[in-house]
Structure 1
């Protein structure tokens, strides 16, 4: 069964609001075994809205509309669909009571136009709005199914979960098998190389299916299957996951939709490991990523943003002759990265000390090119590892890629640590 999503609102076309509703609904529909082939956005115009609905109903079995059901004259979604289907609108008593009680409770005068929020299409099922005022609609017409939902995500999402989804299951999806998916997360490898490593599996896929897609500094692979039960689906997905992991074990850091920093914090928490960091060109971005993970306080002891040479020398005891002088390697060097990692680890007495120093741009520094970065990992009782990165992109891209690279190297180091190897 196919669905199409239409987001209604001129503010979406103007870029004043981001259409997150389509993303949410696409994910939810996929779990129900419904394929979404088209998404569209249309402004608050009766003719264009009706044209969009008519086109969607020609190529989809289910049409979902979000937005345009408020109290004002430009909220036209219900009017447009009703006219297109040759039906009338009426005030739903329960929905009207809900609206009236809202204003009465706040001792605020209810203007007449608020009655529009209680309108429903003749022959439809009203969808109660637990977090707002405008009632939704669900109806079938000549073999097609139509769902009308509010525009604000805080109203749309619960209405879909609590009202629209049960309606679809009862009326439209009696013969559909749901789709089950798993997210596999990879770091330290690009999308093209990952796809090349999985090419045989991808070319021979039928069920389950494999879909890789990239974000900045990481790749996600979604594996999906249709099955009558969750247990049967998980059995199929588990077999495919094992095949993928055998091909990319050094890059696959999670079999769930989590960030690499979350995976690292979980690993280090389980093993009682601690961490500290010294950052130069990334200005605290690494520490922000780590501390954004709930529970990271048990792992992360602290860190230093040592942006200037003076701070590197004063706070982390980097020798002056490494930083300045005719023969000095300079702040952007493997030598300084090593000292930063070792010093911050010793000062904080942590199991790992991380360091970053480099040129994020936009201009050269120390006659060194933009994108030249050194990252280092100092592990207690182990030799410090230093890696040279030659990155491309603008300033922010280089900073993000640097942090992602270091997190990947840290994950690899933890996975190869003595504690994990003896488990």
Structure 2
């Protein structure tokens, strides 16, 4: 079954709201093996919508509409679909009773245009709206299925989950599941990762392999279509094993993991803590880590040592080191990591110092970053040359700091 999602509303085209409904529907359809081939947004214009419906009938088996079921004149979805399938609109008494009751309970006079929300296409399967007024509906037309859902997510999500999806499944004879697993990488670029896996990507069929770069990280989504989740997981497992064999050193997590959530989990499980000395990142690393529930068990604290005065007074970086090597240097990164560990009493100390730009200082190039990591016995300094604008360099520096700590844990220490 090929599906298509059509969002109706000029406000979407103007960018006033985001089309989160399409994302939600695509995810839910994928879980039951229904592939979505098209996402379209059309404004509140009956002629354009009618032409789009005619086109959708030529290419899709299932067309799902979101929006345009309300009481105002610019709500045109069901009227236009009714025209396209040559069926009249009729009042659904149950829906009308719900609408009347809604206004009566609130002591508000119901205007006549609200009766429009109870109109459904004759012969349709009505989907109740437990969180609003306009019902949804499903109709069959010449072997194709059309589903109409309200636009507000608070109405669409529960309507589709409770009523729409179960009805769709009752119409499908051969049901498959589409199951995915996301592998999360850091420290390797998208092109380098693709080069390592190009033969697997070129030869993919089922499972499929889809790389995606985002915010300094790379993910690979492995997706298998099978009769059951267990069967799909087994299909994914063999591909994952080969990917892990080739580039496993760069895998830090799976599915909804983030660098910071994995760090908190790993340290908490080990009963260990970390402290950060942040210069270039200005507290960004600590912000990422403390966004994770339970991070107090893993993060001892942090010191934002943005100026040389703070580096000297709070973290004992000697004035002569700052004068000779500079704040952006291996020597400073080493002292910051070792001192923050001692002063905050943590298992590990991590420091981040560098040049974010846009104007270089200390005759150091923009993007030069040093990250120090220590367990009190051994200290490691890593050098990075990052590109991009100031916010991108700061974010990538923060993520490299967390990844450096994860590498040490993964390798069993310093």
| SS of residue paired to 1:311 | helix
Q: Which runs of 5+ in 2 are unaligned?
A: none
The more displaced of 249-258 and 270-279 is 249-258
CA contact (8 A) 1:184 1:257 kept: no
How big is each residue's C-alpha offset from its partner over 1:257-296, in whole Å with a ceiling of 9 and x where there is no partner? 3112111111111111111111112111111111111111
> C-alpha displacement at 1:60, in angstroms?
0.8
Q: Equivalent of 1:405, from 396, 400, 403?
A: 400
SS in 1 for 2:381: strand
Write out per-residue CA displacement over residues 108-167 of structure 1, whole angstroms, 9 at most, x where no aligned residue: 222222222222111111112222222111111111111111222222222211111111
Q: Which residue of 1 aligns with 2:43?
A: 43
1:337 partnered with 2:336: no
- Distance, in Å, in 2 between the alignment partners of 1:77 and 1:110 is 22
- CA pair 377-132 structure 1, distance change in 2 beyond 3 A: farther
Q: Distance in 2 between matches of 1:6 and 1:75?
A: 14
The DSSP-based 3-state class of the residue aligned with 1:250 is: helix
| Aligned-partner SS, 2:95 | helix
Determine if contact 1:12/1:41 at 8 Å carries over to the other structure: yes
- Any runs of at least 4 consecutive aligned residues in structure 1 with deviations exceeding 3 A, and if so which? none
Provide TM-score, normalisation by structure 2: 0.96
Confirm or deny that 1:387 pairs with 2:386: no
Structure 1 unaligned spans of 5+: none
Distance 2:187 2:154 in 1: 36
d(CA) in 2 for partners of 1:149, 1:258: 32
Aligned to 1:63: 63
Residues 304-343 of structure 1: pairs in structure 2 closer than 5 A = 304-324=303-323, 328-343=324-339
C-alpha distance after superposition, 1:287-328 (max 9, x if no partner): 11111111111111211212222222222222122223xxx2
Aligned equivalents of 1:81, 1:275: Cα separation in 2 = 59
Alignment pair present for 1:370 and 2:369: no
**Equivalent in the alignment of 2:344:** 348
Correspondence list, 1:164-179, <5 A: 164-171=164-171, 173-179=172-178
1:109 aligns with 2:105: no
Are the structure 2 counterparts of residues 195 and 111 from structure 1 closer, same or farther at C-alpha, using a change threshold of 3 Å? same
RMSD: 1.6
Whole-angstrom distance in 1 between the partners of 2:200 and 2:144: 37
1:384-415: CA deviations, max 9, x gaps? 11111111111111111111222222111111
Matches within 5 A, 1:184-333: 184-324=183-323, 328-333=324-329
3-state secondary structure, aligned to 1:185 = strand
Residue pair 1:179, 1:224 contacting (<8 A) in 2 also: yes
1:418 is displaced (CA, Å) by: 4.9
Deviation readout 1:69-113 (Å, 9 max, x if unpaired): 122111111111111111111222222222223222222222222
1:174 shift after superposition: 1.6
Map of 2:391 onto structure 1: 396
Secondary structure, counterpart of 1:266 in structure 2: helix
Counterpart of 1:31 in structure 2 is: 31
CA separation of 1:149 and 1:259: change in aligned 2, threshold 3 A = same
Tell me the alpha carbon deviations over residues 25-69 of structure 1, each in whole angstroms, 9 at most, x when there is no partner. Answer: 122111121222211111011111111121112111111111111
Q: Secondary structure of 1:249's match?
A: helix
Partner of 2:94: 94
CA–CA separation in structure 2 for the residues paired with 1:398 and 1:191: 17
User: Which piece of structure 1 moves more, 93-102 or 330-339?
Assistant: 93-102
Number of aligned residue pairs: 414
Structure 1 length normalisation: TM-score? 0.94
Query: Aligned partners of 2:361 and 2:114: how far apart in 1?
Result: 62
